[in-house]
Structure 1
Amino acid sequence: MRQTTMILTIETPGQGLHEVTRPILRWVHDSGIVAGLLTIFCQHTSASLLIQENAAPAARRDLEAYFACIAPEDAGRYDHDDEGPDDMPAHLRAALTHVQLTVPVINRAPALGTWQGIYLFEHRRAAHTRHLALHLMGE
């Protein structure tokens, strides 16, 4: 059994679903591990991870709009606003999604479905540098 790790740095331009599938696919392929298990961990409390539709941009827009409705930016609504009005809504949105994904690796690639992509879901309005810890274990 082999294992390898890396920190993937992603620059986000602001809120939204930002696809990170390609650099992850490349890293898994280059690892030489044919079969195993990939863990992706977002090292932040105001961003999260999703496996989502990668063909229709409308699906991503609808997801973003939905989360804006269930965790709205509303001045005075939240006690925690240390970094601005999008601070607490970002934490709520991250709490409702995932900060870790686990994906099987088959034939040197994450076993994603035809229309699935891996997304970093940035919940803050400003641009941020985000870090994803990748861990791959297998043979």
Structure 2
Amino acid sequence: MIKQTEFTLKPRTRGFHLISNEIISQLPQLPKNGLLNLFVKHTSCGLCINENADPDVRTDMEGIFNHIVPENQPYFCHTLEGSDDMPAHAKSVISGVSLSIPITDGRLNLGTWQGIYLCEYRSHGGPRRIVATIIGE
């Protein structure tokens, strides 16, 4: 069995946002066992799995990514869309745009402290489109 659905996440400002509940609420009924693939259809944001309890982790991740890829570098050529655009593309490559999560007993098999993040790298990224593909029995 393969199911696929596409939905839009609400717009968010720059940062690392816990979206596990928003994702789960958009999914059809999950199979007993299988795999969920999430794919974000944009080049200036990403998806990742990380700490779901302490919001300081999200703040620290934002600081780390901004340190690794700072804005306004003289070697950036792609600057027409603003100072946050090229760094957003580079950060998207680092974080990635897709996730695979196992499904066990009809639920996402995430660890106790794991949550799904939208990594929004633009100051005003807008609504983000997600393709969810469910493979299962």
1:100 alignment partner AA: S
Q: Who is 2:17 aligned against?
A: 18
SS at structure 2 position matched to 1:122: strand
Q: Who is 1:132 aligned against?
A: 130
Equivalent runs, 1:65-104 vs 2, <5 Å: 65-74=63-72, 76-104=74-102
Seen in structure 2, the aligned counterparts of structure 1 residues 32 and 111 have a Cα distance that, compared at 3 Å, is: closer
Q: Is the 8 A contact 1:37 1:138 kept in 2?
A: yes
Unaligned runs of 5+ in 1: none
Q: What is the TM-score with the length of structure 2 in the denominator?
A: 0.93
Q: What is the TM-score with the length of structure 1 in the denominator?
A: 0.92
Q: Is the 8 A contact 1:25 1:109 kept in 2?
A: no
Unaligned runs of 5+ in 2: none
Identity %: 36
Q: Who is 2:3 aligned against?
A: 4
Using the TM superposition, give the Cα deviation of residue 49 of structure 1 relative to its aligned residue in structure 2, in angstroms.
0.2
Using the TM superposition, give the Cα deviation of residue 118 of structure 1 relative to its aligned residue in structure 2, in angstroms.
0.4
SS at structure 1 position matched to 2:134: strand
State how far apart, in whole Å, the 1-side matches of 2:36 and 2:62 are: 26
Once structures 1 and 2 are overlaid, which stretch shifts more, 33-42 or 7-16?
A: 7-16
SS at structure 2 position matched to 1:124: strand
Q: Who is 2:107 aligned against?
A: 109
Total equivalences in the alignment: 137
Aligned partner of 1:45 among 39, 43, 46: 43
Moved over 2 A (4+): 23-28
